[in-house]
Structure 1
């Protein structure tokens, strides 16, 4: 048992990525016939079982990571045992643990709902679902900017397939739109990374944070430009204005469970803004430019979202616009750049993700009971489960609009409290209050159309409308209502247990702002306490290896600090290299006045 526990600790947090990765590969290898044959395929129960077990295991893993991170310790996993910044590292801290728990807390009920019927409408649904989870987990855990790009691409490729799940002309058209926008964003991402690496010489987040203030003026401006280019990329992912117009229509055409799980996608962009632009680029120039633009962007996004919701013609688009409004609220909190505001942003982020997912699931329930009217805002016959649906809609409206005593209200109160010593306090308070009022009006309009103005069903059996109404289901789609209730229960628990949750989130906001803490946890130092990072990069430098002959390596004395002891004693470190390491260590000691330099044996 102790060996298993030691194995778990030794491989934290890579297991959070490997679980969905291996599950996805296994599901691909299991094969998948055409969507029309899935209902009768003998492998379908296996796909569902493997998929659900993996998500539950991922949720348990995420919770254990949250418990580990709550101690305040930063866990670092060195891939291939190469230390940062020479190798890629995964970093588990309070923020990444919180985002992992949110991801799996959303994925579990959504996948459980999708496994009853929706997964039969297209090929490789479960495999793509787990590739999406792999990309999300990797994005939250990586400590390297290029690795962040890699995991972004993994989750985006999976999202392309999931968006088209179930086929249809509208999904294909908007799918092309979605793919085009994200390919452009990916190209900008690479350009931004190139600018940062070309000027800083590193892509490790902790190392970039340390080095940016030391750069020459021209290099510093180039690095800042690269960081701001990444901000545009993350803004596209987060769907902030003016690069977020794609979200309402795109999410509106997605299958119900796909739209629900996609609510976490925009939060990856917000997470990246906070992680990279908020904490990596901490220099005065970056923060001045970012905060100058982030507040007006947040205010406009929040207002645009709620105004769009007022004019929406479909329930699914209404939800998309409300998501835009909530994104604006979070960006407002991030723009204040203080611990209290960041804490409010994180609390509201969790709330907005879960409530939006519940709302998309409710859209599926409503659509199933309105027949040809679907989710369009048109007067239609009363739904067969109108009381249950109306009560669920009313509760979602209260939570999403930010009315007391629910989580949306608490999140906005925390945000308003954080404005005490912030410039433009009046603008922030006025916008938050106006958006809340308009949200209530928007929900009232929707409820008026869907429920209060609903007509009595046709009673004449000779009419076509009577037959059309009778064939509509008497119950919600399998597991649809129960999945909604699970998410709403989670949100109620979220506000009831606000005290310990806010304590954790407050500590998270404090931790991510401490650059020196991450530097000490991630980067290695030599005997003099200097961080081991070769700057600037020398293109003529060629390290000597077992297969490259005997070349002088001026940096040989760093090797024991950046690879493990077992690797150091392994066969790939030649005898010549070992002698170089020893001589340079003696030389370093001599410089420190500890011993005399001895010539290297030839």
Structure 2
């Protein structure tokens, strides 16, 4: 048992990546026939079973992460046994644990819902779903900017396939737009990383945060420019204006479970803004530029989403605009750059993700009961389950518009409380209240069309209208209603437990603002208590650890700080290199200045 606990302690941060990764590869190897043959394929129960087990295991792992991180502990995992900043490191802190729990808390019920009918409408649904989870978890855990790009690409490639799942002209057309936008964002991401690496000399998040204040003025401005370019990229992912117009139409054409799980993807962009632009680039220049732009962007995005919802002609697009509005509200909180505001942003982020997913699921339920009218805001015959559907719609409207006593209201109250020391307090309060009012008007409008003005169904059995109406389903699509109830129940629990949850959010916001804490845990120091890093970057200053190692390396004494003891004593480090390490350690004990980095001779 002790061995199991020790193994978990040493390797736990990577399990949330490996579980969906191995699941996805196993599902690909299992094979997949054409969509038309999936319902009768003998492997389909195996796909669903493997997918269920993996999702539940991932959720259990995420909960363990949350419990472990709640004490304030930060766990790290060095990939390839190379220490940061030379190797890639995974970092499990309170923020990453929160986001992984949110991901699996949303993914598990949606996967259960999708596994009854939706997963047979296209190939490799389960495999792509778990590749998406792998990308999300990896992005939340990585402590390296380039690795963040890698995991972004993994989740995006999976999302490309999931968006067109079920086929259709509209999905294909908007899928092309979605891919084009994200390819452009990926290109900008790489350019931004190149600028940061060229000016800072590192892509490790803790190391970049440490080095930016030490840069020369020209290099510093170049690094800030790279950081702002990443802000644009993250803004595209988060769908903030003016780079977020794509969201309402794109999510509207996705299948119901795909649209629901996609609500977590915009929060990936929010997470990246908070993690990278909010904490790594904490210098005065970055903060002043970001604060000047982020607040107006948040205000405009929030207002635009509410106004767009009023003018929407379809329910799914209405949901997209409401999600856009919630993104603006979160950005407003982040722009305040104080611990209380960031805690409020995190609380509201969880709420907006779950309620957005529940609303997309309700859209699928309503669409199935309106026949040819689908989700268009046209007067149609009364739905067969109009009482229960209207009640669920009313509850979602109260939560999403931010009315008391639900979590949306509490989240906005927390945000408004955090504006007490902001010079823009009055403007923020006015905009938040106006957005809430516009949201209520928008919900009233569509509730009036869908329920209040619904016509009496045709009762003449000889008419075609009667036959069409009778052919409509008597119940919601399988598992649709139960999944909505589960998400809404979770939000009610989230509201009831607001006090301890808010304390966790506050501690999380405090933790991610403490760059010195991350530097002390992630980066290693030598015998002189200096961080082992390179500034400015010069490849000749890196210690050589290749096979053989028969060349003179003046930095050999740093090797024990970069790799584990087991690797140091293994066959990869030659006897010649071992002697160099011992000789230099003896020499620096007499002459401490010899411990400084020195370039190797060609």
TM range (shorter): over 0.9
Question: Contact 1:196/1:203 (CA < 8 Å) preserved in 2?
Answer: yes
CA–CA separation in structure 1 for the residues paired with 2:580 and 2:189 = 40
Question: Contact 1:234/1:273 (CA < 8 Å) preserved in 2?
Answer: yes
Task: Name the CA shift for 1:578/1:500 in 2 (closer, same or farther; >3 Å).
Answer: same
Deviation at 1:547, TM superposition (A): 3.8
Question: Contact 1:347/1:411 (CA < 8 Å) preserved in 2?
Answer: yes
The answer for the alignment partner of 1:30 in structure 2 is 30
* Range moving further from structure 2, 251-260 or 521-530: 521-530
Question: Contact 1:160/1:179 (CA < 8 Å) preserved in 2?
Answer: yes
CA–CA separation in structure 2 for the residues paired with 1:116 and 1:17 = 26
CA–CA separation in structure 1 for the residues paired with 2:273 and 2:461 = 59
Q: CA RMSD in A?
A: 1.2
DSSP 3-state at the match of 1:329: helix
1:83-482 superposed matches below 5 A: 83-482=83-482
The answer for the alignment partner of 1:526 in structure 2 is 526
* Range moving further from structure 2, 543-552 or 4-13: 543-552
The answer for the alignment partner of 2:49 in structure 1 is 49
Question: Contact 1:544/1:550 (CA < 8 Å) preserved in 2?
Answer: no
DSSP 3-state at the match of 1:76: strand
How many residues are paired up?
595
Deviation at 1:545, TM superposition (A): 4.2
CA–CA separation in structure 1 for the residues paired with 2:544 and 2:210 = 28
Deviation at 1:539, TM superposition (A): 4.0
Task: Name the CA shift for 1:236/1:107 in 2 (closer, same or farther; >3 Å).
Answer: same
CA–CA separation in structure 2 for the residues paired with 1:546 and 1:517 = 32
CA–CA separation in structure 1 for the residues paired with 2:41 and 2:310 = 45
Q: Does 1:551 align with 2:551?
A: yes
CA–CA separation in structure 1 for the residues paired with 2:443 and 2:578 = 71
CA–CA separation in structure 2 for the residues paired with 1:267 and 1:539 = 37
CA–CA separation in structure 2 for the residues paired with 1:594 and 1:352 = 56
Deviation at 1:587, TM superposition (A): 2.2
Deviation at 1:542, TM superposition (A): 6.8
The answer for the alignment partner of 1:600 in structure 2 is none
DSSP 3-state at the match of 1:13: helix
Q: In structure 2, list runs of 5 or more residues that go unmatched.
A: 596-602
Deviation at 1:109, TM superposition (A): 0.7
Deviation at 1:590, TM superposition (A): 1.4
CA-to-aligned-CA distance 1:45-101 (integer Å, 9 cap, x gap): 000010011000000000000000011011000011110001000000000000000
CA–CA separation in structure 1 for the residues paired with 2:157 and 2:546 = 39
CA–CA separation in structure 2 for the residues paired with 1:580 and 1:236 = 50
CA-to-aligned-CA distance 1:387-408 (integer Å, 9 cap, x gap): 0100000000000000000000
CA–CA separation in structure 2 for the residues paired with 1:523 and 1:305 = 42
CA–CA separation in structure 1 for the residues paired with 2:169 and 2:53 = 34
Task: Name the CA shift for 1:138/1:419 in 2 (closer, same or farther; >3 Å).
Answer: same
Question: Contact 2:144/2:203 (CA < 8 Å) preserved in 1?
Answer: yes
Q: In structure 1, list runs of 5 or more residues that go unmatched.
A: 596-602
Task: Name the CA shift for 1:26/1:593 in 2 (closer, same or farther; >3 Å).
Answer: closer
1:572-583 superposed matches below 5 A: 572-583=572-583
Deviation at 1:12, TM superposition (A): 1.5
Question: Contact 1:542/1:553 (CA < 8 Å) preserved in 2?
Answer: no
* Range moving further from structure 2, 41-50 or 538-547: 538-547
CA–CA separation in structure 2 for the residues paired with 1:120 and 1:546 = 50
* TM-score normalised by L of structure 1: 0.98
Question: Contact 2:164/2:175 (CA < 8 Å) preserved in 1?
Answer: yes
Question: Contact 1:543/1:551 (CA < 8 Å) preserved in 2?
Answer: no
